[in-house]
Amino acid sequence: MIDEKGMSKIKTNRAFAKRVSTAFIIESPFQLLCAWEAIEEFEIKDYKIVLVMDSNNIRNKQTIAMLKDKKMAYDAYYWNDESFKTIQPQVVRYDRIMIGDYDDLCLMQVCEYYASAHAEVVFMDDGLSSIMLLKGLPYQHTPFLAKIRKLIKGDIAIERARKKIFKHWEEIGFVNENCMYTIYGNIKSKTFKTYPNTLSHLYKGEKQSEGVIIIVGTTILEVARLYGIPVPLFEGLVWSKLVEVRDKYPENRIIYIPHGRDRDPHIEQLCKCLDIEFKRLQMSIEYYIVSENLNVQAIYGTLSTALSTLRIMTGAPVTLWSIDYKKDKYQYLHHQYMEFYESIGIVAEEIKVPEVDKR
């Protein structure tokens, strides 16, 4: 006879078992990459890709373009239009549900339309917030939740809503053992049972012989506003780092890849001055590097999930440009991220921001 502890272990093992039919409920290019990796890692033959997106998110085009490039079928819903209200229970159901974002309540709401009775739930990474989530520390919620926090009256209400969903899952027979398939599998978590996502199935085959330097761009206007730094000053700081990289690699091909949401009008011109390619992608940065078989020699950028993923995929040295500004209201959060990055071998270089006299 199997005791309760033994049954829990069986359930957890099944969450990460091979060849279990799986529905992936996701919303972003990075989450799609995690789904692709899971399909290979767990040898999933019977699966469904389900997109639940913000209709105003500029990165939707990247996600859909990547699916079309692989000729993969998918269902799509937009939580802020009529399509979300017309979701119907599916005829084909899946024994495992893998959710792209622990924070996104809309993804969770769609699960029961695709899950079989007693389906198991596994969470995946959305980005840097997974680091804090696994450590059990306070963190900044995803952009989606940032938009709706006022509507549901803050973070406490978000936690209550999530617990309500979890309780409903329990009532209808879903198995939720707080399992996470994560690129941060080296973090020992007291809350989550983790399985490491090594991205080893994505980046393989022969690479170009030419060594390429990758610069991961940030959302210039958003970051400047977040830190309270004048945009021209922040652009000047970025220029100084671009000059450093070009001086270090005078003969190499250097590619600057702007963030999908970045709309700063000047960075492209700065890149041209230094013979740095400015390449706005119609796919995720990781998928671009895979598609082009790039031989990445070094990676630079400010805080970004891509620094972690590219390091795992390519093995190339990574330099984190850490913004040092006394008025950083998220200093604790950024310190935690930097501390983790340094623990996995990423080199941190501080960008000191001078005090601005606003008189």
- Whether CATH 3.40.50.11110 fits 211-352: yes
| Measured distance CA(304)–CA(218) in Å, rounded | 8
Residue 329 has pLDDT above 80, yes or no: no
Say what percent of the chain tops pLDDT 70.
Answer: 87
Say what percent of the chain tops pLDDT 90.
Answer: 57
> Could you tell me the pLDDT band of residue 345, with boundaries at 50, 70 and 90?
confident
State residue 344's pLDDT score: 85
pLDDT per residue over 9-55, tens digit each?
445 568 999 999 999 999 999 999 999 999 999 999 999 999 999 88
Name which of 140-144, 145-149, 189-193, 335-339 the model is least confident about. 145-149
Total-model pTM:
0.86
Q: Tell me the CA distances in angstroms from 20 to 121, 228, 260, one per residue in order.
A: 12, 48, 33
**Looking at the DSSP assignment, which residues form a beta bridge with residue 82?**
none
pLDDT per residue over 76-119, tens digit each?
999 888 778 788 889 899 999 999 999 888 899 899 999 998 99
State residue 139's pLDDT score: 60
Q: In the numeric block, which tokens belong to residue 242? A: 């671009």
State residue 84's pLDDT score: 81
> Could you tell me the pLDDT band of residue 7, with boundaries at 50, 70 and 90?
very low
Residue 129 has pLDDT above 80, yes or no: yes
For residue 43, give every residue at least 6 positions away whose Cβ sits within 8 Å of its Cβ, in sequence order, or none: 18, 19
**Pair 324, 353: CB distance under 8 Å:** yes
Element at 10 (helix H, strand E): helix 4-15
Q: Tell me the CA distances in angstroms from 76 to 62, 63, 71, 216, 260, one per residue in order.
A: 14, 11, 15, 29, 20
Q: What DSSP assignment string belongs to 193-254?
A: EEEE---TTTS-S---SSEEEEEE---HHHHHHHHT--HHHHHHHHHHHHHHHHHH-SSSEE
State residue 3's pLDDT score: 43
Q: What angle do CA 338, 62, 101 make, to 5 degrees?
A: 50
Enumerate the domain spans of the chain: 4-196, 211-352
State residue 82's pLDDT score: 79
pLDDT per residue over 288-306, tens digit each?
999 998 999 999 998 888 9
Q: Tell me the CA distances in angstroms from 355 to 38, 157, 324, 325, 352, one per residue in order.
A: 46, 37, 11, 8, 9
Q: What is the mean pLDDT of the chain?
A: 86
CATH class of 4-196: alpha beta
State residue 338's pLDDT score: 81
Residue 1 has pLDDT above 70, yes or no: no
Q: How many CB atoms are located within 10 Å of the residue 83 CB?
A: 15
- Whether 211-352 and 4-196 are alike in CATH topology: the answer is yes
Residue 132 has pLDDT above 90, yes or no: no
| Measured distance CA(68)–CA(280) in Å, rounded | 19
